Amino acid sequence: MVIQKEKKSCGQVVEEWKEFVWNPRTHQFMGRTGTSWAFILLFYLVFYGFLTAMFSLTMWVMLQTVSDHTPKYQDRLATPGLMIRPKTENLDVIVNVSDTESWDQHVQKLNKFLEPYNDSIQAQKNDVCRPGRYYEQPDNGVLNYPKRACQFNRTQLGNCSGIGDPTHYGYSTGQPCVFIKMNRVINFYAGANQSMNVTCAGKRDEDAENLGHFVMFPPNGNIDLMYFPYYGKKFHVNYTQPLVAVKFLNVTPNVEVNVECRINAANIATDDERDKFAGRVAFKLRINKT
C-alpha cells in the first residue's frame, strides 16, 4: 500500500520557511538560539585568530633569517653570464645601412643605456679607484651603507662611446658597436685576483671569415678587478657595471654572422654546455647593404 505524501500549499511552505528563519516561540534564528550563535561565532573568531597569529609569527621568524641586502641562497648564480647591448629579440643585431629606421632604434637604446656612464655623472657619484685590485668595503661590525662604486667613464669606450659621433656608434656606416656586459653576482670576486678580459670570435670557420676585423674598448677587452665585488642593489646604489665595446670594422655585408664572446677569467667557466650563457654570449650580426 503506497502512502501518498500530502502536498503542501505554497502558503504553508512560506510559513515553514519564515518559522525556520525566525521562530517566535523558541526565539531561534535559523534553528539556533542567540547563545548558540554566539558560541559558534566566538569559536571561529578564536580559531581564525589563532591561525592568523601563527602564520604571522612564522613569517616573522623566517624574515629574521633573510637579509635585506644579500640573497640567502646563490648556489645557482656561481657563474655570471654575459649579455649584449643593444638588447634585441633573439639577440639578433641586424642593420640596414640605407634604412635609418632599422638602426635608429639601436642608437636610441644605446643612448639611454650609456647615459649613467657619462663622465660628469660618474665624477659626481663614484670614486676614482686604484686599478688592479678589488675595491672591498667590509662592514667590520658596523653597517657600511651605502657602498661606494668605482668610476667607469663613458670615454673609456673610445670610438664606441657615442660622444660627438656622427656615425651613431658606427651603425650608419655599417661598422656597429656591440657592448658586452657581465651579469651581476653579489659578493663574487671575478678573476680570482688575476687579470681578465673579453674575447670575441666567429662560431664557425665561415663565420670567422665573414666577421672580419674588429677593435675592442677598453683595449684588449680588459675588465679591471676594481669593479668587484658587487654588494647588491640596495648597498651599491650607484654601481655601474664595467663594459667592453666591440666595433666591427668590415663584416661581410648581406651575410648572417654568428659571433660568440667569452670572458677569460680564472674562476669563470665558459664550457658548460648546459648553460649557453655561463661566461659567454652568442649573437647574430648582419649588415645589409644595397
Is a pLDDT exceeding 70 seen at residue 21? Answer: yes
Q: What is the pLDDT of residue 272?
A: 78
How confident is the model over 162-194, as pLDDT tens digits?
999 899 999 999 999 999 999 998 889 999 999
Our CA angle for 282, 286, 288, nearest 5°, is 175
Is a pLDDT exceeding 80 seen at residue 69? Answer: no
What's the mean per-residue pLDDT of the chain? 88
The band of 138, judged by pLDDT with boundaries at 50, 70 and 90, is confident
Specify the residue for cell string 657619484.
125
Q: What is the pLDDT of residue 71?
A: 67
Higher-pLDDT residue of 290, 161:
161
Give the integer Cα–Cα distance in Å for 150 and 146: 13
Percent of the chain with pLDDT over 70: 92
Grid cell locating 49: 585568530
Question: How far does CA 75 lie from the centroid of its chain?
Answer: 17
Q: What is the pLDDT of residue 274?
A: 76
Is a pLDDT exceeding 60 seen at residue 2? Answer: no
How confident is the model over 191-248, as pLDDT tens digits?
999 999 999 999 999 999 999 999 999 999 999 999 999 998 888 889 999 999 999 9
- How crowded is residue 183: how many other Cβ atoms within 10 Å of its Cβ? 16
How confident is the model over 108-117, as pLDDT tens digits?
999 999 999 9
Give the integer Cα–Cα distance in Å for 189 and 184: 11
Give the integer Cα–Cα distance in Å for 210 and 157: 24
Q: What is the pLDDT of residue 77?
A: 62
Q: What is the pLDDT of residue 158?
A: 94
The band of 4, judged by pLDDT with boundaries at 50, 70 and 90, is low
Give the integer Cα–Cα distance in Å for 114 and 177: 13
Say whether 28 sits in a helix, a strand or coil. Answer: strand
* Residue 252 backbone dihedrals phi, psi, to 5 degrees: -60, 120
Q: Which residues pair with residue 29 across a beta bridge? A: 22, 32
Q: Residues 5-24: what's their mean pLDDT?
A: 72
Percent of the chain with pLDDT over 90: 63
Is a pLDDT exceeding 80 seen at residue 16? Answer: no
What percent of the chain is helix, strand and coil (3-state, nearest 5)?
30, 20, 45
* Residue 154 backbone dihedrals phi, psi, to 5 degrees: -60, -30
